Chains A and B, each alone.
With several copies, the nearest count.
Chain A
Amino acid sequence: MTFWFTLKEGLKGFKRARLATSISIVSVAFALLLLGLFMVFTANVDRLIGDLRSRIELEVFLEPVIEQSVGMKIASEIALMEGVSDTRFISKADAANRFEKQFGRNIYEVLDTNPLPPSVIIHINEGYRKAASVREIAGRIAAIDGVDEVAYQEDLLQVIDKYIHIVYLISGAFGGILLVIAFILLHNTIRLTILARKDIIQIMKLVGAKEAFIRRPFIVEGLLQGLIGGIIANALLWMAVALSRHYFFEAVVFPYIFFAVLVIVGVLIGIISSKMSVSKYLKAVL
């Protein structure tokens, strides 16, 4: 009974202050869209960094005189080590090809024999793509019989390890600022829609309504504003993602949980702002 009356009143509030409410919904939608765009952006940066890390490879140079079959055995032995995801064996012939690509000359043009050692290229499992773990793996591999040397871009790894924090920090800070901005914008808009009805709130109080009775429909209204704004924001965000998938990258990451996040943030801000603003005008008169 009271629940339905409150809901009905909240819905009627929309009609009663149509202009203010629609202005507010548009603001809510766009502030949430903003937040959504940023979340998508962050998710994609995160994916990109993951990609970068997955490209880390170690090159294990074997003794140049080793038999190919022994080399391949070493490769499969390495493949079984903790933290190693896969290995690829580079024979002396493969190495010669790489030499030609890099130095522009066929090694057999200059020499009779191939002095290049065979090697094993290995990739690292996801949890182990940090400078410390990789160094540890490299140490264990170097101890294997037949392994001459282990080479990898330690400096690149250290750079990623160092900057990843900064990237996450910046993303986090920016996201935090954005959340604050979105909150302030929504809060202010909803405050203004209620400011426009402060006389109504005061009259209700003078006619014997309890504070909770007055507050409830406004809260429902704020909730609905947040909800509708969130749904519109989701529609716009989905359009933006679809467009960028079509025109830029097919691989744009979009976790569907974002839909829920936007709606929840909108609804929470709607409820909190309405409640705070109504309370303000309830206190303004005895």
Chain B
Amino acid sequence: MIEFYNVTYGVDKTPILNNISLRIVKGEFVYLAGASGAGKSTVLSLIYMENLPDEGTVIIDRYSTAKIKQKEIPLLRRRVGVVFQDFRLLMDRTVFENVAFPLRVIGTKSKDIKRKVFRVLAEVNLSHVRNADPAKLSGGEKQRVAIARAVINNPFIVLADEPTGNLDDDSALEIMSIFEKINRQGTAVLMATHNQSLIQRFPHRNLYLNKGYLIKP
């Protein structure tokens, strides 16, 4: 369902990823570990196609970087939920509208939007700040808004870039249980993380990146 074939990617002749091949099947839960600057966020960016590989092919669902048309990219992204490392919230609207945005994009009815957003906000413990300005939230609260937005649209895979980095251990456990739950419902999860204790507590397949190379386990 997600396949990398000998993917190489660089910026300005600096290689960032070298000859990466990997496969994530439907409904799998996979960690992406590696030191700071190893290329984890870059791997994720190739999946939601913010970046395209210099060499090799990335295949996501029925889309291949070899032949995807530019106007198909939004359709791909609606099926992939992303928790960005720097959150990338829409700072010009409320928490509610941030979470609702992926539903607005596909033209969901207002009533359904309201119902779904309320449910997801409750799951991440943010019901009380739904009308707040995201800029004023604490780091962990922003992170949870990003998570809510990533899962609202029932994607087939959620890419989570360090989704517990700004969370205390209790909140991190809660968030992990949310990811476990959506994973049990059939959604694949690819989580870039440094949190070794989480990896040990919730064991799943682990991809390890080192300076742009995928290390065989």
Does B associate with A? yes
Is A213 an interface position by the 8 A CB rule?
A: yes
Q: Which residues of the other chain, B, contact A208 by a CB distance below 8 angstroms?
A: 74-78, 102, 105, 153
- Judged by a CB distance under 8 angstroms, whether A168 is at the interface is no
Spot the interface stretch: A26-34, A146-154, A198-206.
Answer: A198-206
With contacts A207-B77, A210-B74 known, is A197 near B92, CB below 8 A?
yes
Bound together, the chains give a CA A211 to CA B92 distance in angstroms of: 19
Find chain B residues with CB under 8 A from A200 CB: 90-92
Neighbouring A residues of B88 by C-beta, 8 Å: 203, 206-207
Size category, A interface? 20 to 34
Q: Is the interface of A mostly helix, strand, loop or mixed?
A: helix
Which residues of B are found within 8 Å of A203, using beta-carbon distances? Answer: 88-90
Cβ contacts under 8 Å, B84 to chain A = 206
Pairwise interchain contact B105-A286, C-beta atoms closer than 8 A: no
**CB <8 Å contact, A207 and B101:** yes
Minimum C-beta distance from B154 to chain A (A): 13
Chain A's nearest CB lies how many Å from the CB of B93? 6
Alpha-carbon distance A199/B50, docked complex (angstroms): 14
A84 to B12, CA, bound (A): 81
> A164 to nearest B CB, angstroms?
54
> Which chain B positions have C-beta within 8 A of A1?
107
Chain A residues with CB under 8 Å of chain B are 1-2, 5, 12, 16-17, 197, 199-200, 203-211, 213, 285-286
User: 28 A-B contacts, Cβ less than 8 Å apart?
Assistant: A1-B107, A5-B104, A16-B92, A16-B93, A17-B92, A197-B92, A200-B91, A203-B90, A204-B90, A205-B74, A206-B48, A206-B88, A207-B77, A207-B82, A207-B88, A208-B74, A208-B77, A208-B78, A208-B102, A208-B105, A208-B153, A209-B74, A209-B105, A211-B74, A213-B105, A286-B49, A286-B52, A286-B70
The 10 closest A-B pairs by CB, nearest first: A208-B77, A16-B92, A208-B78, A209-B105, A210-B74, A203-B88, A208-B74, A208-B105, A200-B90, A286-B50
